[in-house]
Chain A
Amino acid sequence: MTVTLEPAVHGDRVSLLRVLGPAHVWALGVGIVLVGEFTGWNFAADKGGALAALIVCWVVGLLYTSVAMIDSEVTSTVAAAGGQYAQAKHIVGPLMAFNVALFLVFAYTMLEVSDAILLGDTIVAKAGVEGLTHNSFIAATIVVLAWLNYRGVLMTLNVNFVITAIAYISIVILFFSVSPWTQGAVLKLNELVTPGNALPYGWIGVIAAFQFGIWYYLGIEGTTQAAEEVRSPARSLPYGTMAGMITLLIAAAMTWYVCASMMPWEYLGITYYPLWDAGKLTGSPLLENLLFVATLLAALASANGCINDAARAWFSLGRDRYLPTWFSAVHPRYRTPYRSILFLLPIALAFAFIADLNQAITFSILSGVLQYTFMSINIMMFRKKWPLGSIRRGYTHPFHPIPAIVLFCLCVVTFFAIFLGFGSQLIAMVAFYFLISLWFHFYRYRFVRRGDQFTMPWPKPQGI
Protein backbone atom coordinates (compact mmCIF):
# COMPACT_ATOMS: atom_id res chain seq x y z
CA MET A 1 0.00 0.00 0.00
CA THR A 2 1.37 3.40 -0.91
CA VAL A 3 0.73 6.59 0.95
CA THR A 4 -0.44 9.29 -1.41
CA LEU A 5 0.08 12.91 -0.54
CA GLU A 6 -3.12 14.74 -1.42
CA PRO A 7 -2.76 18.27 -2.74
CA ALA A 8 -1.71 20.37 0.21
CA VAL A 9 -3.82 23.41 1.01
CA HIS A 10 -0.95 25.86 1.04
CA GLY A 11 1.79 25.04 -1.40
CA ASP A 12 3.77 22.00 -0.24
CA ARG A 13 2.60 22.21 3.32
CA VAL A 14 0.50 19.56 5.01
CA SER A 15 -2.29 21.21 6.97
CA LEU A 16 -5.35 20.10 8.87
CA LEU A 17 -8.27 19.60 6.51
CA ARG A 18 -11.07 22.17 6.28
CA VAL A 19 -14.06 19.89 5.85
CA LEU A 20 -16.39 20.58 8.78
CA GLY A 21 -19.68 22.50 8.93
CA PRO A 22 -21.92 23.84 11.71
CA ALA A 23 -23.46 20.40 12.35
CA HIS A 24 -20.01 19.00 13.13
CA VAL A 25 -19.35 21.88 15.50
CA TRP A 26 -22.64 21.10 17.24
CA ALA A 27 -21.73 17.40 17.37
CA LEU A 28 -18.35 18.19 18.89
CA GLY A 29 -19.71 20.50 21.60
CA VAL A 30 -22.91 18.67 22.52
CA GLY A 31 -21.18 15.30 22.12
CA ILE A 32 -18.60 16.19 24.76
CA VAL A 33 -21.22 17.56 27.15
CA LEU A 34 -24.29 15.34 26.88
CA VAL A 35 -22.79 12.58 29.04
CA GLY A 36 -23.20 15.04 31.94
CA GLU A 37 -26.98 14.60 31.72
CA PHE A 38 -26.57 10.82 31.99
CA THR A 39 -24.33 11.04 35.04
CA GLY A 40 -22.64 13.77 37.06
CA TRP A 41 -25.23 16.58 37.38
CA ASN A 42 -27.24 14.53 39.87
CA PHE A 43 -24.46 14.65 42.49
CA ALA A 44 -25.55 18.28 42.91
CA ALA A 45 -28.69 16.87 44.56
CA ASP A 46 -26.50 15.11 47.14
CA LYS A 47 -24.82 18.43 47.95
CA GLY A 48 -27.94 20.55 48.26
CA GLY A 49 -31.14 18.66 47.45
CA ALA A 50 -33.26 18.43 44.30
CA LEU A 51 -34.12 22.12 44.18
CA ALA A 52 -30.43 23.03 44.46
CA ALA A 53 -29.79 20.83 41.41
CA LEU A 54 -32.41 22.87 39.51
CA ILE A 55 -31.08 26.22 40.70
CA VAL A 56 -27.55 25.37 39.60
CA CYS A 57 -28.93 24.04 36.31
CA TRP A 58 -30.09 27.56 35.48
CA VAL A 59 -27.32 29.55 37.18
CA VAL A 60 -24.54 27.41 35.73
CA GLY A 61 -26.48 27.62 32.47
CA LEU A 62 -25.96 31.36 32.70
CA LEU A 63 -22.23 30.78 33.27
CA TYR A 64 -22.00 28.62 30.17
CA THR A 65 -24.15 30.92 28.06
CA SER A 66 -21.60 33.62 28.88
CA VAL A 67 -18.82 31.18 27.96
CA ALA A 68 -20.50 30.34 24.65
CA MET A 69 -21.09 34.00 23.73
CA ILE A 70 -17.60 35.13 24.66
CA ASP A 71 -16.00 32.15 22.99
CA SER A 72 -18.02 32.66 19.83
CA GLU A 73 -16.87 36.25 19.46
CA VAL A 74 -13.19 35.62 20.07
CA THR A 75 -12.99 32.38 18.12
CA SER A 76 -14.79 33.81 15.11
CA THR A 77 -11.80 36.14 14.95
CA VAL A 78 -8.94 33.87 16.14
CA ALA A 79 -9.80 30.82 14.04
CA ALA A 80 -6.95 28.44 14.83
CA ALA A 81 -6.55 24.92 16.24
CA GLY A 82 -5.92 25.14 19.95
CA GLY A 83 -9.01 27.30 20.47
CA GLN A 84 -8.63 29.19 23.72
CA TYR A 85 -4.87 28.59 23.59
CA ALA A 86 -4.58 30.57 20.35
CA GLN A 87 -6.85 33.25 21.82
CA ALA A 88 -4.70 33.57 24.95
CA LYS A 89 -1.51 33.72 22.92
CA HIS A 90 -2.67 36.66 20.83
CA ILE A 91 -4.59 38.56 23.48
CA VAL A 92 -2.85 37.96 26.83
CA GLY A 93 0.59 36.47 26.13
CA PRO A 94 2.64 33.28 25.87
CA LEU A 95 2.68 32.27 29.57
CA MET A 96 -1.11 32.53 29.81
CA ALA A 97 -1.41 30.62 26.53
CA PHE A 98 0.80 27.80 27.81
CA ASN A 99 -1.31 27.48 30.94
CA VAL A 100 -4.57 27.59 28.99
CA ALA A 101 -3.35 24.83 26.69
CA LEU A 102 -2.56 22.69 29.73
CA PHE A 103 -6.01 23.45 31.18
CA LEU A 104 -7.48 22.22 27.90
CA VAL A 105 -5.40 19.06 27.69
CA PHE A 106 -6.08 18.16 31.34
CA ALA A 107 -9.79 18.96 31.16
CA TYR A 108 -10.35 16.90 28.03
CA THR A 109 -8.04 14.00 28.84
CA MET A 110 -9.50 13.59 32.33
CA LEU A 111 -13.01 13.84 30.90
CA GLU A 112 -12.11 11.18 28.35
CA VAL A 113 -10.84 8.99 31.20
CA SER A 114 -14.07 9.57 33.15
CA ASP A 115 -16.15 8.69 30.10
CA ALA A 116 -14.26 5.46 29.53
CA ILE A 117 -14.59 4.44 33.19
CA LEU A 118 -18.31 5.28 33.10
CA LEU A 119 -18.82 3.21 29.95
CA GLY A 120 -16.96 0.23 31.45
CA ASP A 121 -18.83 0.44 34.74
CA THR A 122 -22.19 0.73 32.96
CA ILE A 123 -21.57 -2.43 30.94
CA VAL A 124 -20.39 -4.31 34.05
CA ALA A 125 -23.49 -3.14 35.96
CA LYS A 126 -25.76 -4.27 33.14
CA ALA A 127 -24.02 -7.64 32.73
CA GLY A 128 -23.99 -8.55 36.43
CA VAL A 129 -21.48 -11.32 35.68
CA GLU A 130 -19.04 -12.32 38.41
CA GLY A 131 -15.41 -11.86 37.38
CA LEU A 132 -16.19 -9.37 34.61
CA THR A 133 -14.13 -6.19 35.02
CA HIS A 134 -14.35 -2.86 33.23
CA ASN A 135 -10.74 -2.86 31.99
CA SER A 136 -11.36 -4.38 28.55
CA PHE A 137 -14.22 -1.98 27.83
CA ILE A 138 -12.11 0.99 28.94
CA ALA A 139 -9.25 -0.09 26.68
CA ALA A 140 -11.56 -0.62 23.70
CA THR A 141 -13.24 2.76 24.20
CA ILE A 142 -10.00 4.70 24.29
CA VAL A 143 -8.16 2.79 21.56
CA VAL A 144 -11.04 2.54 19.08
CA LEU A 145 -11.85 6.24 19.43
CA ALA A 146 -8.17 7.18 19.14
CA TRP A 147 -8.06 5.12 15.94
CA LEU A 148 -11.13 6.91 14.63
CA ASN A 149 -9.53 10.28 15.39
CA TYR A 150 -6.29 9.14 13.80
CA ARG A 151 -8.13 8.29 10.56
CA GLY A 152 -9.72 11.68 10.02
CA VAL A 153 -11.76 14.44 11.56
CA LEU A 154 -14.72 14.21 9.17
CA MET A 155 -15.60 10.60 9.97
CA THR A 156 -14.88 11.23 13.67
CA LEU A 157 -17.42 14.03 13.89
CA ASN A 158 -19.93 12.34 11.57
CA VAL A 159 -19.95 9.45 14.03
CA ASN A 160 -20.25 11.91 16.90
CA PHE A 161 -23.22 13.59 15.26
CA VAL A 162 -25.12 10.32 14.89
CA ILE A 163 -24.47 8.92 18.37
CA THR A 164 -25.04 12.29 20.06
CA ALA A 165 -28.34 12.69 18.23
CA ILE A 166 -29.47 9.20 19.30
CA ALA A 167 -28.53 9.89 22.94
CA TYR A 168 -30.33 13.25 22.83
CA ILE A 169 -33.47 11.78 21.23
CA SER A 170 -33.56 9.13 23.96
CA ILE A 171 -33.93 11.91 26.56
CA VAL A 172 -36.74 13.45 24.54
CA ILE A 173 -38.46 10.04 24.20
CA LEU A 174 -38.16 9.43 27.95
CA PHE A 175 -39.56 12.89 28.66
CA PHE A 176 -42.68 12.39 26.55
CA SER A 177 -43.11 8.79 27.70
CA VAL A 178 -43.73 9.81 31.31
CA SER A 179 -46.59 12.23 30.48
CA PRO A 180 -44.78 15.37 31.62
CA TRP A 181 -48.01 17.37 31.49
CA THR A 182 -49.59 15.18 34.22
CA GLN A 183 -48.46 14.86 37.81
CA GLY A 184 -49.42 11.78 39.86
CA ALA A 185 -49.47 9.16 37.13
CA VAL A 186 -45.75 8.53 36.63
CA LEU A 187 -44.19 11.74 37.84
CA LYS A 188 -44.54 12.70 41.49
CA LEU A 189 -42.68 15.96 41.81
CA ASN A 190 -45.13 17.32 44.38
CA GLU A 191 -44.46 14.38 46.69
CA LEU A 192 -40.71 14.11 46.14
CA VAL A 193 -39.76 17.78 46.26
CA THR A 194 -41.56 19.48 49.13
CA PRO A 195 -40.89 22.73 50.99
CA GLY A 196 -39.46 20.58 53.77
CA ASN A 197 -36.82 18.76 51.70
CA ALA A 198 -36.25 21.00 48.67
CA LEU A 199 -33.12 22.58 50.18
CA PRO A 200 -32.09 20.22 53.00
CA TYR A 201 -28.81 22.07 53.69
CA GLY A 202 -30.09 25.59 52.99
CA TRP A 203 -28.34 28.01 50.65
CA ILE A 204 -24.84 26.74 51.47
CA GLY A 205 -26.02 23.49 49.88
CA VAL A 206 -26.85 25.43 46.73
CA ILE A 207 -23.32 26.87 46.68
CA ALA A 208 -21.83 23.41 47.21
CA ALA A 209 -23.98 22.07 44.36
CA PHE A 210 -22.16 24.34 41.87
CA GLN A 211 -19.32 21.84 41.76
CA PHE A 212 -21.50 19.23 40.08
CA GLY A 213 -23.83 21.67 38.32
CA ILE A 214 -20.88 22.22 35.99
CA TRP A 215 -21.61 18.75 34.59
CA TYR A 216 -24.76 19.92 32.87
CA TYR A 217 -22.63 21.80 30.33
CA LEU A 218 -18.92 20.97 30.88
CA GLY A 219 -17.06 20.99 27.56
CA ILE A 220 -19.30 23.09 25.27
CA GLU A 221 -16.35 25.43 24.79
CA GLY A 222 -14.58 22.53 23.05
CA THR A 223 -16.21 23.59 19.78
CA THR A 224 -13.43 26.11 19.27
CA GLN A 225 -10.84 23.38 18.80
CA ALA A 226 -12.37 22.74 15.39
CA ALA A 227 -11.58 26.29 14.27
CA GLU A 228 -8.89 25.28 11.81
CA GLU A 229 -10.96 22.48 10.30
CA VAL A 230 -14.31 24.19 9.66
CA ARG A 231 -14.98 25.57 6.20
CA SER A 232 -16.27 28.91 7.46
CA PRO A 233 -15.09 29.52 11.01
CA ALA A 234 -16.61 32.99 11.35
CA ARG A 235 -20.07 31.55 10.64
CA SER A 236 -19.92 27.89 11.71
CA LEU A 237 -18.35 28.30 15.13
CA PRO A 238 -20.81 30.83 16.62
CA TYR A 239 -23.75 29.03 15.00
CA GLY A 240 -22.71 25.55 16.15
CA THR A 241 -21.75 26.70 19.65
CA MET A 242 -24.91 28.70 20.33
CA ALA A 243 -27.14 25.98 18.86
CA GLY A 244 -25.32 23.48 21.08
CA MET A 245 -25.88 25.61 24.17
CA ILE A 246 -29.61 25.93 23.45
CA THR A 247 -29.82 22.16 22.91
CA LEU A 248 -28.12 21.52 26.23
CA LEU A 249 -30.30 23.95 28.20
CA ILE A 250 -33.38 22.08 26.96
CA ALA A 251 -31.82 18.67 27.71
CA ALA A 252 -30.76 19.75 31.20
CA ALA A 253 -34.24 21.03 32.06
CA MET A 254 -35.95 17.86 30.78
CA THR A 255 -33.45 15.64 32.60
CA TRP A 256 -33.93 17.39 35.93
CA TYR A 257 -37.71 17.40 35.64
CA VAL A 258 -37.99 13.67 34.87
CA CYS A 259 -35.39 12.50 37.39
CA ALA A 260 -36.46 14.76 40.27
CA SER A 261 -40.06 13.65 39.67
CA MET A 262 -39.21 9.95 39.87
CA MET A 263 -36.46 9.60 42.50
CA PRO A 264 -36.07 11.00 46.02
CA TRP A 265 -33.14 13.39 46.26
CA GLU A 266 -31.29 11.08 48.68
CA TYR A 267 -31.10 8.43 45.93
CA LEU A 268 -30.79 10.82 43.00
CA GLY A 269 -27.72 12.36 44.62
CA ILE A 270 -25.75 9.11 44.79
CA THR A 271 -26.75 7.06 41.75
CA TYR A 272 -24.32 6.88 38.86
CA TYR A 273 -27.11 6.42 36.32
CA PRO A 274 -29.97 8.89 36.89
CA LEU A 275 -31.47 8.64 33.40
CA TRP A 276 -31.01 4.88 33.11
CA ASP A 277 -32.64 4.53 36.55
CA ALA A 278 -35.50 6.75 35.39
CA GLY A 279 -35.93 4.43 32.41
CA LYS A 280 -36.08 1.44 34.77
CA LEU A 281 -38.61 3.17 37.02
CA THR A 282 -41.05 3.62 34.13
CA GLY A 283 -41.40 -0.19 34.12
CA SER A 284 -40.85 -0.31 30.36
CA PRO A 285 -38.07 -2.69 29.25
CA LEU A 286 -37.85 -0.76 25.99
CA LEU A 287 -37.15 2.53 27.77
CA GLU A 288 -34.75 0.85 30.18
CA ASN A 289 -32.71 -0.61 27.33
CA LEU A 290 -32.92 2.61 25.32
CA LEU A 291 -31.51 4.62 28.22
CA PHE A 292 -28.81 2.00 28.83
CA VAL A 293 -27.67 2.24 25.20
CA ALA A 294 -27.98 6.04 25.28
CA THR A 295 -25.73 6.18 28.38
CA LEU A 296 -23.07 4.22 26.50
CA LEU A 297 -23.42 6.36 23.38
CA ALA A 298 -23.21 9.60 25.36
CA ALA A 299 -20.01 8.38 27.05
CA LEU A 300 -18.58 7.38 23.65
CA ALA A 301 -19.45 10.72 22.05
CA SER A 302 -17.88 12.61 24.91
CA ALA A 303 -14.66 10.60 24.87
CA ASN A 304 -14.49 10.93 21.10
CA GLY A 305 -14.76 14.72 21.22
CA CYS A 306 -12.28 14.91 24.08
CA ILE A 307 -9.63 12.98 22.12
CA ASN A 308 -10.18 15.36 19.21
CA ASP A 309 -9.81 18.47 21.37
CA ALA A 310 -6.94 17.38 23.62
CA ALA A 311 -4.89 16.32 20.58
CA ARG A 312 -5.40 19.67 18.86
CA ALA A 313 -4.39 21.65 21.94
CA TRP A 314 -1.24 19.51 22.30
CA PHE A 315 -0.55 19.82 18.56
CA SER A 316 -0.79 23.61 18.77
CA LEU A 317 1.73 23.72 21.60
CA GLY A 318 4.16 21.77 19.43
CA ARG A 319 3.56 23.97 16.40
CA ASP A 320 4.55 27.08 18.35
CA ARG A 321 7.54 25.28 19.93
CA TYR A 322 6.07 25.59 23.40
CA LEU A 323 6.66 21.84 23.33
CA PRO A 324 8.97 19.93 20.93
CA THR A 325 7.91 20.51 17.30
CA TRP A 326 7.74 16.73 16.91
CA PHE A 327 4.17 16.94 18.25
CA SER A 328 3.10 19.29 15.47
CA ALA A 329 3.22 16.64 12.74
CA VAL A 330 0.15 16.28 10.53
CA HIS A 331 -0.61 12.95 8.91
CA PRO A 332 -0.09 13.49 5.16
CA ARG A 333 -3.01 11.25 4.22
CA TYR A 334 -5.56 11.65 7.01
CA ARG A 335 -4.63 15.27 7.84
CA THR A 336 -4.84 14.72 11.58
CA PRO A 337 -2.35 15.57 14.38
CA TYR A 338 -1.49 11.87 14.59
CA ARG A 339 1.53 12.08 16.89
CA SER A 340 -0.40 14.09 19.46
CA ILE A 341 -3.25 11.57 19.32
CA LEU A 342 -0.82 8.69 19.81
CA PHE A 343 1.11 10.46 22.59
CA LEU A 344 -2.03 11.13 24.64
CA LEU A 345 -3.40 7.61 24.12
CA PRO A 346 -1.25 5.75 26.69
CA ILE A 347 -1.62 8.63 29.16
CA ALA A 348 -5.41 8.32 29.02
CA LEU A 349 -5.17 4.54 29.35
CA ALA A 350 -2.86 4.81 32.37
CA PHE A 351 -5.17 7.25 34.18
CA ALA A 352 -8.23 5.17 33.31
CA PHE A 353 -6.67 2.05 34.84
CA ILE A 354 -5.28 3.66 38.01
CA ALA A 355 -7.53 6.66 38.79
CA ASP A 356 -11.05 6.45 40.17
CA LEU A 357 -13.99 8.25 38.60
CA ASN A 358 -14.28 10.97 41.26
CA GLN A 359 -10.63 11.99 41.02
CA ALA A 360 -10.70 12.12 37.22
CA ILE A 361 -13.91 14.16 37.19
CA THR A 362 -12.57 16.60 39.79
CA PHE A 363 -9.37 17.26 37.83
CA SER A 364 -11.42 17.79 34.68
CA ILE A 365 -13.79 20.26 36.35
CA LEU A 366 -10.94 22.15 38.01
CA SER A 367 -9.09 22.63 34.75
CA GLY A 368 -12.33 23.66 33.06
CA VAL A 369 -13.16 26.33 35.65
CA LEU A 370 -9.61 27.71 35.50
CA GLN A 371 -10.13 28.08 31.78
CA TYR A 372 -13.48 29.87 32.18
CA THR A 373 -11.91 32.31 34.62
CA PHE A 374 -9.31 33.09 31.99
CA MET A 375 -12.03 33.64 29.39
CA SER A 376 -13.71 36.38 31.43
CA ILE A 377 -10.41 38.28 31.64
CA ASN A 378 -9.56 37.49 28.04
CA ILE A 379 -12.68 39.11 26.56
CA MET A 380 -12.15 42.28 28.58
CA MET A 381 -8.62 42.56 27.20
CA PHE A 382 -9.77 41.68 23.69
CA ARG A 383 -12.42 44.41 23.60
CA LYS A 384 -9.96 46.91 25.09
CA LYS A 385 -7.06 46.15 22.72
CA TRP A 386 -9.19 45.68 19.59
CA PRO A 387 -12.47 47.60 20.08
CA LEU A 388 -15.49 47.00 17.86
CA GLY A 389 -14.76 48.31 14.40
CA SER A 390 -10.99 47.81 14.57
CA ILE A 391 -11.00 44.19 13.30
CA ARG A 392 -13.57 42.00 11.58
CA ARG A 393 -15.60 39.80 13.91
CA GLY A 394 -17.77 36.90 12.77
CA TYR A 395 -19.96 37.41 15.82
CA THR A 396 -20.24 40.18 18.41
CA HIS A 397 -21.71 39.18 21.75
CA PRO A 398 -24.27 41.53 23.32
CA PHE A 399 -24.32 43.34 26.67
CA HIS A 400 -20.54 43.51 27.11
CA PRO A 401 -19.12 43.57 29.82
CA ILE A 402 -22.03 41.98 31.73
CA PRO A 403 -21.41 38.38 30.48
CA ALA A 404 -17.71 38.68 31.41
CA ILE A 405 -18.52 39.95 34.90
CA VAL A 406 -21.20 37.29 35.44
CA LEU A 407 -18.80 34.62 34.25
CA PHE A 408 -16.01 35.77 36.56
CA CYS A 409 -18.33 35.94 39.62
CA LEU A 410 -19.80 32.51 38.95
CA CYS A 411 -16.30 31.05 38.53
CA VAL A 412 -15.35 32.43 41.96
CA VAL A 413 -18.44 30.78 43.49
CA THR A 414 -17.58 27.50 41.75
CA PHE A 415 -14.00 27.61 43.04
CA PHE A 416 -15.39 28.05 46.55
CA ALA A 417 -17.73 25.09 46.01
CA ILE A 418 -14.86 22.93 44.78
CA PHE A 419 -12.76 24.03 47.76
CA LEU A 420 -15.54 22.84 50.08
CA GLY A 421 -15.51 19.37 48.53
CA PHE A 422 -12.01 18.87 47.12
CA GLY A 423 -9.81 21.52 48.75
CA SER A 424 -6.60 19.48 48.69
CA GLN A 425 -6.98 18.64 44.96
CA LEU A 426 -7.62 22.32 44.19
CA ILE A 427 -4.45 23.39 46.00
CA ALA A 428 -2.40 20.59 44.42
CA MET A 429 -3.58 21.53 40.95
CA VAL A 430 -2.87 25.24 41.39
CA ALA A 431 0.60 24.34 42.71
CA PHE A 432 1.16 22.14 39.65
CA TYR A 433 0.26 24.95 37.24
CA PHE A 434 2.48 27.36 39.17
CA LEU A 435 5.50 25.04 38.95
CA ILE A 436 4.96 24.22 35.29
CA SER A 437 4.69 27.97 34.59
CA LEU A 438 8.11 28.49 36.18
CA TRP A 439 9.52 25.73 33.96
CA PHE A 440 8.02 27.35 30.88
CA HIS A 441 9.16 30.85 31.74
CA PHE A 442 12.72 30.06 32.79
CA TYR A 443 13.50 27.13 30.49
CA ARG A 444 11.15 26.28 27.65
CA TYR A 445 10.38 29.74 26.29
CA ARG A 446 13.94 30.14 25.01
CA PHE A 447 13.11 27.62 22.24
CA VAL A 448 10.11 29.60 21.00
CA ARG A 449 10.48 31.68 17.84
CA ARG A 450 8.87 34.73 19.28
CA GLY A 451 7.86 36.51 16.09
CA ASP A 452 6.43 33.40 14.44
CA GLN A 453 3.86 32.59 17.10
CA PHE A 454 1.64 35.62 16.45
CA THR A 455 -0.11 34.80 13.21
CA MET A 456 -3.27 36.91 13.06
CA PRO A 457 -3.08 39.78 10.57
CA TRP A 458 -4.51 42.29 13.02
CA PRO A 459 -3.66 45.96 13.44
CA LYS A 460 -1.50 47.02 16.35
CA PRO A 461 -3.50 46.79 19.62
CA GLN A 462 -4.66 50.03 21.19
CA GLY A 463 -2.70 51.29 24.19
CA ILE A 464 0.53 49.49 23.23
Chain B
Amino acid sequence: MWMALSYACWGISIVLALWMLYDWFKVDTTFSEEVLTSSREGELEAVSEKHRI
Protein backbone atom coordinates (compact mmCIF):
# COMPACT_ATOMS: atom_id res chain seq x y z
CA MET B 1 0.00 0.00 0.00
CA TRP B 2 2.79 2.41 0.90
CA MET B 3 4.62 1.76 -2.36
CA ALA B 4 1.38 2.42 -4.26
CA LEU B 5 0.96 5.66 -2.32
CA SER B 6 4.50 6.61 -3.23
CA TYR B 7 3.84 6.06 -6.94
CA ALA B 8 0.57 8.00 -6.64
CA CYS B 9 2.50 10.92 -5.14
CA TRP B 10 4.87 10.97 -8.12
CA GLY B 11 1.90 10.87 -10.48
CA ILE B 12 0.03 13.69 -8.77
CA SER B 13 3.18 15.81 -8.64
CA ILE B 14 3.85 15.39 -12.34
CA VAL B 15 0.23 16.10 -13.36
CA LEU B 16 -0.05 19.24 -11.23
CA ALA B 17 3.37 20.51 -12.29
CA LEU B 18 2.40 20.08 -15.95
CA TRP B 19 -0.94 21.82 -15.35
CA MET B 20 0.80 24.81 -13.78
CA LEU B 21 3.26 25.02 -16.69
CA TYR B 22 0.36 24.84 -19.16
CA ASP B 23 -1.60 27.53 -17.34
CA TRP B 24 1.49 29.74 -17.06
CA PHE B 25 2.06 29.47 -20.81
CA LYS B 26 -1.62 30.18 -21.53
CA VAL B 27 -1.76 33.26 -19.29
CA ASP B 28 1.51 34.68 -20.58
CA THR B 29 0.38 34.33 -24.18
CA THR B 30 -3.14 35.66 -23.55
CA PHE B 31 -2.41 38.81 -21.54
CA SER B 32 0.09 41.57 -22.14
CA GLU B 33 3.06 42.03 -19.85
CA GLU B 34 1.76 45.49 -18.91
CA VAL B 35 -1.48 44.01 -17.57
CA LEU B 36 0.20 41.13 -15.74
CA THR B 37 2.73 43.38 -14.00
CA SER B 38 0.35 46.27 -13.33
CA SER B 39 0.00 45.68 -9.58
CA ARG B 40 1.19 48.60 -7.45
CA GLU B 41 1.94 48.71 -3.75
CA GLY B 42 -0.20 50.77 -1.40
CA GLU B 43 -2.94 51.82 -3.82
CA LEU B 44 -5.78 51.09 -1.43
CA GLU B 45 -4.08 53.09 1.30
CA ALA B 46 -3.55 55.98 -1.07
CA VAL B 47 -7.25 56.03 -1.86
CA SER B 48 -8.82 55.35 1.53
CA GLU B 49 -6.42 56.55 4.17
CA LYS B 50 -5.35 60.15 4.48
CA HIS B 51 -3.41 59.67 7.70
CA ARG B 52 -5.06 62.63 9.35
CA ILE B 53 -5.35 62.30 13.10
Interface string of A78-107 (1 = CB under 8 A from B): 011110001000000000000000000000
Q: Which of B9-53 contact A (CB under 8 A)?
A: 9-10, 12-13, 16-17, 19-21, 23-24, 26-27, 30-31, 33, 35-47, 49-53
Q: When A143-B17, A147-B20, A389-B53 are in contact, do A316 and B41 touch as well, CB less than 8 Å? A: yes
CA distance A133 to B3 in the complex (A): 9
**Which B residues touch A405, using CB under 8 A?**
none
Q: Which of A438-464 contact B (CB under 8 A)?
A: 455-459
CA distance A126 to B31 in the complex (A): 47
Closest Cβ neighbor of A457 among chain B residues: B46
**Which A residues touch B41, using CB under 8 A?**
80-82, 86, 228, 316, 319-320, 455
Cβ B13 vs Cβ A144 within 8 A: yes
- Which of A16, A79, A129, A140 touches B39 (beta carbons < 8 Å)? A16
Interface string of A269-312 (1 = CB under 8 A from B): 00000000000000000000000000000000000000000000
CA distance A146 to B10 in the complex (A): 15
Give, as a whole number of angstroms, the nearest-CB distance from B6 to chain A. 4
CA distance A228 to B45 in the complex (A): 10
Cβ B39 vs Cβ A13 within 8 A: yes
Cβ B6 vs Cβ A319 within 8 A: no
Cβ B17 vs Cβ A14 within 8 A: no
Stretch binding the partner chain, chosen from A179-187, A251-259, A330-338, A359-367:
A330-338
Cβ A140 vs Cβ B13 within 8 A: yes
CA distance A333 to B33 in the complex (A): 15
**Which A residues touch B7, using CB under 8 A?**
136
Report if A12 contacts B (CB, 8 A): yes
**Which B residues touch A81, using CB under 8 A?**
41
Give, as a whole number of angstroms, the nearest-CB distance from A329 to chain B. 4
- Of residues B19, B39, B44, B51, which shows the largest number of chain A Cβ atoms within 10 Å of its Cβ? B39
How many A residues are at the interface, by size bracket? Answer: 35 or more
Report if A339 contacts B (CB, 8 A): yes
Report if A326 contacts B (CB, 8 A): yes
Q: When A132-B6, A139-B9, A139-B10 are in contact, do A147 and B16 touch as well, CB less than 8 Å? A: yes
Q: When A3-B26, A332-B36 are in contact, do A132 and B2 touch as well, CB less than 8 Å? A: yes
- Which of B20, B31, B38 touches A146 (beta carbons < 8 Å)? B20
Q: When A139-B13, A143-B13, A338-B24 are in contact, do A319 and B3 touch as well, CB less than 8 Å? A: no
- Which of B19, B20, B43 touches A10 (beta carbons < 8 Å)? B43
Q: When A132-B2, A132-B6, A459-B51 are in contact, do A18 and B12 touch as well, CB less than 8 Å? A: no
Report if A391 contacts B (CB, 8 A): yes
Report if A342 contacts B (CB, 8 A): yes
Cβ A329 vs Cβ B36 within 8 A: yes
Give, as a whole number of angstroms, the nearest-CB distance from B24 to chain A. 6
- Which of A132, A140, A318, A392 touches B49 (beta carbons < 8 Å)? A392
**Which A residues touch B45, using CB under 8 A?**
79, 455-457
Give, as a whole number of angstroms, the nearest-CB distance from A79 to chain B. 6
7 new A-B contacts at CB < 8 Å, known A5-B35, A457-B49:
A13-B43, A15-B43, A18-B44, A136-B13, A146-B20, A331-B27, A455-B41
